[in-house]
Amino acid sequence: MHLHERINALTALGEHLLGEDDYLRAVMHRTYHNNLWFTPANQEQAVKAIAQQFLDSEKLQNWLSQYEIPEPDAPKTVGLVMAGNLPLVGFHDVMCVFAAGHKAKIKLSEKDAYLLPYLLKVLEKIDLHTVAYFEIADRLHDLDATIATGSNNTARYFEAYFGNKPHIIRKNRNAVAVLSGAETDAELLALGSDIFSYFGMGCRNVSKLYAPRGYDFIPLLELLTEYREVVLHDKYKNNFDYNLALCMLSREPYLMGNGIVLIENAAIASPVSCLYYEFYDSITDLEAELNNRSAEIQCIVANAATIALSVVPFGKAQQPGLEDYADGVDTMAFLTKL
């Protein structure tokens, strides 16, 4: 397939995903039965974001026009180790490999084993030639390159197993938010989406707040009551009850809202249902700290006037665009140079 044919196929997939598909809904219910974190609503949110942000024809063409994409005589085989923390979280990698004209050999996560195969079947119906570009595999071997996403622990094994070939290996990251105290209620309410979307389990979910010393968190907690329905989810509620009990038993200071526990902690990654916070005295010192800890941070959510770093507006952390590469590594540049 030529590049314009691959773009047309991806665009047609996006149009399909924005329409009605009873079979896709059935796949979503099967996925939910297999993994209760992946509610139908969360899956629908992920599919809609993919269709609107990744598979729009104009956005695709503008994005890919930045790269010189050769039509390889012998496409490379790129192994993809998929994460399972969010629905279809590895779709961007799959799409990049396809757009670059290579073949994706995909190791699915057991937590998300049905959605991507169905989307590939839809692509097959759109254009039969796409079949040659994808393979679902239980084991990854005979690879020319690898893109693997996992935890800090699994990254060590990925390095040992895939390190002898070109690779991108991703570790744990989280989003942080920087508050100045001048945020509007609308901005703080939007921040709730960055915290609670997908139950806070994504690398782009805000897991920690930085606030000026003396910041009053009570108005924020009152606004976050709008997201109180998260505690109706049994698995989230179990995490909330457990972490709240730990704070109470250890006599650790905390603040509690409807569905969230705020804890002062220097770490960036917080447990599900918890949100860490830390006070700062100088925005300049905070900028230096965030730069020093950049390997732990996926993105920074803040008002652009608050801090002189690249930031994502409140409420937009879980709406990445095509150029918002995980860990800041340009996947397409990596693939086009294989």
Mean pLDDT by 10 residues, the chain (338 residues): 95 97 97 97 97 96 94 89 95 97 97 98 97 96 94 87 91 96 97 97 97 97 95 96 95 93 97 98 97 97 96 96 94 95
Amino acid at 331: T
pLDDT at residue 155 in the model: 86
pTM of the model: 0.93
CB of 265 closer than 8 Å to CB of 276? yes
User: What are 299's strand-pairing partners?
Assistant: 175
Three-class SS state of 176: strand
Write down the H helix ranges in 251-306. 283-292
Between CA 62 and CA 208 the distance in angstroms is 34
pLDDT at residue 295 in the model: 94
Between CA 37 and CA 21 the distance in angstroms is 22
Nearest to 151 by CA among 81, 92, 200, 199: 81
pLDDT at residue 74 in the model: 84
Crossing angle of helices 57-64 and 3-17, in 10° steps, is: 150
Token reading at 140: 């990854």
Nearest to 270 by CA among 246, 303, 304: 246
> 3-171 adopts what CATH topology?
Aldehyde Dehydrogenase; Chain A, domain 1 (3.40.605)
Q: Where in the chain are all domains bearing CATH 3.40.309.10?
A: 174-301
pLDDT at residue 197 in the model: 97
Q: Where in the chain are all domains bearing CATH 3.40.605.10?
A: 3-171
What CATH number was assigned to the domain covering residues 174-301?
Answer: 3.40.309.10
Q: Residue 255 — φ and ψ, nearest 5°? A: -120, 140
Read off the DSSP letter of residue 54. I
Write down the H helix ranges in the chain. 3-17, 22-34, 40-49, 57-64, 91-99, 115-126, 152-162, 185-196, 218-223, 234-250, 283-292, 331-336
Token reading at 214: 């003396």
pLDDT at residue 247 in the model: 95
pLDDT at residue 156 in the model: 86
